[in-house]
Amino acid sequence: MPSSTTALRVAVLVGSTREGRFAPVVTRWLRGHLAQRADLSTDVVDLAETPLPTVLPAFGQEPPPGTREALAAVSPRLAAADAFVFVTPEYNHSFPAALKNAVDWHHTEWHGKPVAFVSYGGLSGGLRAVEQLRVVMAELNAMTVRNTVSFHNAYGAFDPDGRVDDPAVDAAAKAMLDQLTWWAHALREAKSRRPYAA
What share of the chain in percent tops pLDDT 70?
97
**DSSP for residue 33:** H
- Residue 129 within any structural domain of the chain: yes
The pLDDT score that the predictor gives to residue 62 is: 84
Residue partners of 161: CB distance under 8 A and separation at least 6: none
- Residue 82 within any structural domain of the chain: yes
Contact 126, 90 (CB under 8 A): yes
Distance of CA 133 to the CA centre of its chain: 10
| Domain CATH number, residue 22 | 3.40.50.360
**Has residue 1 got a pLDDT over 80?**
no
- Residue 62 within any structural domain of the chain: no
Question: Cα–Cα distances in Å, from 166 out to 13, 30, 57, 163?
Answer: 24, 14, 46, 9
pTM > 0.75: yes or no: yes
Domain boundaries, position 132:
8-54+68-193
- Residue 187 within any structural domain of the chain: yes
The pLDDT score that the predictor gives to residue 61 is: 87
Give the Cα separation of 87 and 65 in Å (integer).
Answer: 29
Q: Mean per-residue pLDDT for 184-188? A: 97
pLDDT digits (tens, 9 = 90+) for 152-183: 999 999 999 999 999 999 999 999 999 999 99
For strand 149-151 and strand 40-46, is the pairing parallel, antiparallel, or unpaired?
unpaired
Give the Cα separation of 52 and 13 in Å (integer).
Answer: 13
pLDDT digits (tens, 9 = 90+) for 73-116: 999 999 999 999 999 999 999 999 999 999 999 999 999 999 99
Report how many domains make up the chain: 1
Q: How far apart are the first and last CA of the chain?
A: 21
- Residue 1 within any structural domain of the chain: no
- Residue 2 within any structural domain of the chain: no
- Residue 99 within any structural domain of the chain: yes
CB atoms within 10 A of CB 32: 14
Three-state SS at 118 = strand
- Residue 198 within any structural domain of the chain: no
